[in-house]
Amino acid sequence: MFLIQNTLVSLDVLEKEFCCDLDTCRGCCCIEGDAGCPITDEEIKQIEALLPELLPQMTKEARAVVEQQGLSYLDPSGEQVLSIVNGKDCIFARTDHNGWCYCLIEKLGFKKPISCALYPIRLTKVGEYTGVEYHRWDICHCARILGKKKHIPLYQFLKEPLIRRFGRAWYDELELTATEWKKQCAQK
């Protein structure tokens, strides 16, 4: 792990290659989970403000979930996560006529929750630090293949959401760390 400001960044974030292959997976990470995405109180407030626009576009099942339990719940670890339908589908996921999943929040022109944008990076609490870790999920196999083919490190693929979450100075430090790490590895 590397210490960058107040985060501990996993080596996998620098070394693993990744590039979402939506032509293959069609966004199935939004409908194949076993829990909702982690979400902050601030994000819940932002989504609540959008609910009048979101509700008419949500599935009947998703609207029922929101009515019964709300936008979020605490998962077994005590983390607040978005509610899901049938134990797997995000309440804001919709599928188009070609079988592609899309996010209703993004369709309205807003940014989806940061944990969604950062996936497959997951953030964890590590004492006083935030752990920045790569979460390996079988359904992202095609993204690992495409990332290797295109030689795109995970941190570069997720540049925009990493900057959104941690800021430009943090990302610049991450990039410098990755460059120095690669130099060290090449010298061995």
Q: Tens of pLDDT along 4-43?
A: 999 999 999 999 999 998 888 887 777 777 778 899 999 9
Residues sharing a CB contact under 8 Å with residue 43, sequence separation 6 or more, in sequence order: 113, 114
State the CB neighbour count (10 A cutoff) for residue 49: 11
pLDDT digits (tens, 9 = 90+) for 106-152: 999 999 999 999 999 999 999 999 999 999 988 889 999 999 999 99
Which residues are bridge partners to 72 per DSSP? 82
Give the domain ranges of the chain: 1-18+120-188, 27-111
